[in-house]
């Protein structure tokens, strides 16, 4: 059976991937000259939902890191990704 930390790593990787996809979809929509308000609202809602999921998985994963230096490095990576997808 897969260890809890490994399951969280896989879940976090999937959540990161979905956040990146949602961010790219929103960016593409913003670049279209004919995008509708409803489409934008849906894309923003999807990105927010994906970020909420990532935040939950990330918080659970952080609880498995006992080394303060590793935790700090992981927090920096998580912040960088989150800032990147929200920069759209």
Alpha helix (H) ranges present in 1-88? 4-31, 37-62, 68-86
Question: What number is the average pLDDT over the span 51-60?
Answer: 97
Please, are residues 49 and 84 in contact by the beta-carbon 8 Å criterion?
A: no
Residue 4 has pLDDT above 70, yes or no: yes
pTM reported for the whole predicted model: 0.88
The residue among 44, 8, 18 whose CA lies nearest residue 29 is: 44
Domain ranges of the chain: 4-86
Question: What number is the average pLDDT over the span 26-42?
Answer: 93
Phi then psi for residue 65, to 5 deg, are -100, 115
- Band of the pLDDT at 2, cuts 50, 70, 90? low
Q: What confidence score (pLDDT) does residue 88 get?
A: 83
Q: What confidence score (pLDDT) does residue 35 get?
A: 79
Please state, in angstroms and rounded to a whole number, the distance separating the CA atoms of residues 51 and 65.
21
């Amino acid at each position: 059976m897969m260890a809890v930390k490994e399951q969280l790593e896989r879940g976090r990787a999937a959540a990161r991937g979905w956040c990146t996809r949602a961010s790219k979809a929103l960016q593409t929509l913003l670049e279209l000259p004919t995008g509708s308000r409803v489409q934008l609202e849906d894309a923003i809602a999807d990105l927010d939902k994906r970020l909420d999921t990532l935040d939950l998985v990330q918080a659970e994963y952080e609880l498995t890191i006992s080394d303060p230096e590793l935790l700090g490095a992981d927090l920096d990576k998580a912040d960088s990704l989150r800032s990147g997808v929200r920069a759209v």
